[in-house]
Structure 1
Amino acid sequence: MKNFALIGAAGYIAPRHMKAIKDTGNALLAAMDKNDSVGIIDSHFPEAAFFTEFEQFERFVDLSKKQGTDLDYVAIASPNYLHDSHIRFALRHGADAICEKPLVLNPQNIDELLLAEKDSGKRVFNILQLRLHPSIVSLKEKVAAAVAADPNKVYDVDLTYLTSRGNWYFTSWKGEDAKSGGIATNIGVHFYDMLGWVFGDLIENKAHLKQADCSAGFLRFKHANVRWFLSVNYDYIPQEIKQTGQRTYRSITVDGDEIEFSGGFTDLHTASYQDILNGGGFGLEEARKSIEIVSQIRNMEIVTSGSDIHPFVAKVC
């Protein structure tokens, strides 16, 4: 049994980390969040210590270590802009870090964390759960086989992801680009990771749309041309999806064929934890490509014309 702490216990994704810790047979010693709406802890680890002040949380970790209870892992589900700091906390206290996406907001943070990782002798892992989704694993195998037969093979891919959010989203840290990285970073980074994992090195990156509630662009990988559109605005969801009562729409087409991956997301954190505990996991360098992509998108100028614009952009413009 390994001992865990969790930073960011009140967020949307925190229950998946709690469930993953429990399902893999481990213990949550302490959790920390400045917000105290964390009753979900009772469903997993009612005996865990909880703190709303980081200094008290750190004191608990220090005292536990002095009393002979070492911390093996710190799970990090805090706001994006705090990931770097909280990863460093884990390493300083002799624990490996398991961090939500995005790992960090800028590529230079990865370089600095590599040095911190080396100095501490501990590891940093990123939750890149789509790499474990059966449909995506199958797609990667299919693409690898096709590329082996034809090294010049290039696919045409459309990525469309709309996950409706209410007004609270824009009032929270997620609505501040400096804290979340913006729409492309906050809800798109794991898709960019998946695309790079499947289709190879990035060759070209364009931004066609950057607004508070949506973003769109074009990515050229070694083996795919990708038009992408991301949004948290319910208005842009296709009418036929609205009629079913759903508020989320995910679609990835590869050469016109839909990749079915709408289900199976809830257990991928548990699979990610099990992979790490078994000696696998995705480290700092494996997160680099997606962090470079979102950093570029955040800082590049918009291109408003071209044949590579996602069709959903017309819904906005």
Structure 2
Amino acid sequence: MKNFALIGAAGYIAPRHMRAIKDLGHNLSVAYDINDSVGIIDSISPHSEFFTEFERFQEFAHQLQRIPATRLDYVAICSPNYLHHPHIAAGLRLGCDVICEKPLVPTPELMDELALVEQETGKRVYNILQLRHHDAILKLRDKVAAAPADTKFDVELTYITSRGKWYMESWKGDNRKSFGVATNIGVHFYDMLHFIFGKLQSNVVHHTGTQKAAGYLEYERARVRWFLSIDANDLPAEVQGKKTTYRNIDISGEQLEFSEGFTDLHTTSYSEILAGRGYGLADARHCIETVNVIRTAKVVKGELGEVHPFVPKLVD
């Protein structure tokens, strides 16, 4: 049995980490969040210590490290994006391996900094890249690998996940903290595309705004027109008023259906990490490089055939 600490216990994704720890038979020793709306702990790990001040959490964690039976093995991080880097570094320096949500950090330079802290501490950082464990994604990857080597697939990726006014008032609506909509809601798609279609060859941005972004990516095995949005007005007419989310991935005329099968992916990710097969800094670098370019690139008018069909009608 391994002992875990959790940073960001009040976050949306934190319960999936708590359940993964419990379902795999491990122990959540201590959790931390500046917010105290963490009643979910009662149904998953009611014995866990909890702190709302990082200094008290950190001191308690250091005390746990003195005794072999209570010593922490892992720190899981579900805090806001801009805090990932300092929280990862703190977990490594505590003497723990770290499991962090994506985006790991915003820039390749911070990836390099974390690699130095890994070397200094002898501990490792693991990123949750759960789509790499989804059955539909794995089957598509096998299909692409089996296709003739000169085959390049045409992909259209559309993801609209409606968010209310609260979003822009939260840290997620502050680009200094979330690093923008493409990074915050898109990073796992860019990792998925790299995982399936290989190295990125071209990265062009056709639109960027506070609520949506679009562009063109070309990989070794695919040409991708992509569109991401949190604006309900972008939902296709056929789903408006019926659904708040629209996700569509078209691959050379075939639809990739992966709406189901997400429930246990965090548990699978944890199982792989604990078995020594987790995804580390090198695995996460490609998608961090991709979002860093998207965030800093100059918006250009797209070439014919490279522009997502939703782009011409954008007003953001």
TM-score range for the pair, normalised by the shorter chain length: over 0.9
Return the match for 1:298 from 295, 303, 313.
295
> What is the aligned partner in structure 1 of residue 20 from structure 2?
20
Instruction: Return the letter of the residue paired with 1:83.
Output: H
Matched, 1:269 2:266: yes
8 Å CA contact retained: 1:165, 1:233:
yes
Ranges in structure 2 where 5+ consecutive residues have no aligned partner: none
CA-CA distance at 1:301 after TM superposition: 0.4
Report the CA distance between 1:280 and its aligned residue: 0.5
Alpha-carbon separation, structure 1, partners of 2:303 and 2:174: 29
> Is structure 2 residue 173 aligned with structure 1 residue 175?
yes
* Cα offset, 1:208, TM superposition: 0.7
Corresponding position of 2:117: 116
What is the SS of the residue equivalent to 2:95? coil
Please state whether the residue corresponding to 1:135 is helix, strand or coil: helix
After superposing the two structures, state which structure 1 stretch, 131-140 or 118-127, moved more. 118-127
**What's the counterpart of residue 53 of structure 1?**
53
Q: Map 1:93-104; keep pairs closer than 5 Å.
A: 93-104=94-105
Give the whole-Å Cα distance in 2 for the aligned partners of 1:199 and 1:227.
14
1:53-132 counterparts in 2 under 5 A? Answer: 53-68=53-68, 69-132=70-133
**Residue identity opposite 1:218 in structure 2:** Y
Q: Provide the residue aligned with 1:289 in structure 2.
A: 286
Q: Any conservation in 2 of the 1:165–1:234 contact (CA below 8 Å)? A: yes
Find the counterpart in structure 1 of residue 4 from structure 2. Answer: 4
CA distance in 2, matches of 1:92, 1:257: 47
Q: Which residue of 2 aligns with 1:230?
A: 228
Structure 1 position 282, deviation (Å)? 0.4
1:84 touches 1:104 (CA, 8 Å); kept in 2?
Answer: yes
Query: 2-side partners of 1:15 and 1:163: how far apart?
Result: 20
Counterpart Cα distance in 1 of 2:90 and 2:81: 15
Counterparts of 1:115 and 1:264 in 2: how far apart (Å)?
A: 36
Paired residue type of 1:204: S
Distance in 1, Cα, partners of 2:231 & 2:174: 16
- Identify the residue that residue 246 of structure 1 maps to in structure 2: 243
1:258-279 Cα distance to aligned partner (Å, 9 max, x none) = 0010111121101100111111
CA contact (8 A) 1:202 1:221 kept: yes
Amino acid paired to 1:299: T
Describe the SS at the equivalent of 2:29: strand
Contact 1:236 1:315 in 2 (8 A): no
For residues 138-287 of structure 1, what are the structure 2 equivalents within 5 Å?
138-146=139-147, 150-243=148-241, 245-287=242-284
- Give the Å deviation of 1:250: 1.1
- Distance, in Å, in 2 between the alignment partners of 1:239 and 1:258 is 19
Aligned residue pairs: how many? 313
Flag structure 1 segments of 5+ consecutive residues without an equivalent.
none
Matched, 1:136 2:137: yes
Aligned-partner Cα distance in 2 for 1:161–1:277? 32
1:42 is aligned to 42
Once the 2 structures are TM-superposed, how far is the Cα of residue 242 of structure 1 from its aligned partner?
2.8
Q: What residue identity is the alignment partner of 2:232?
A: Y
1-side partners of 2:160 and 2:41: how far apart?
A: 29
Deviation at 1:234, TM superposition (A): 1.1
Same amino acid, percent of matched pairs: 57
Whole-angstrom CA distance in 2 between matches of 1:291 and 1:142: 26
Distance in 1 between residues matched to 2:66 and 2:277, nearest whole Å: 30
1:183-210 CA-to-partner distances (Å, cap 9, x unmatched) read 1100000100010111111110011111
SS of residue paired to 1:207: strand
Could you tell me how far 1:315 is from its partner in structure 2? 3.6
2:36 is paired with a residue of what secondary structure? coil
What's the C-alpha RMSD, in Å, of the aligned pairs? 1.0
Aligned partner letter, 2:294? I
SS at match of 2:40: helix
Shift in Å, 1:115: 1.5
Q: Which amino acid aligns with 1:313?
A: V
CA–CA separation in structure 1 for the residues paired with 2:196 and 2:67: 46
Name which of structure 1's ranges 246-255 and 186-195 shifts more when overlaid on structure 2.
246-255
Residue 162 (structure 1) shift: 0.9
* Equivalent AA in structure 1 for residue 274 of structure 2: L
The alpha carbon displacement at 1:104 in A equals: 0.6
Q: SS state of the match for residue 238, structure 2?
A: helix
The whole-number CA distance in structure 1 between the counterparts of 2:292 and 2:51 is 33
Q: Given residue 33 of structure 1, which amino acid in structure 2 is its aligned partner? A: D
TM-score of the pair, normalised by structure 1: 0.97
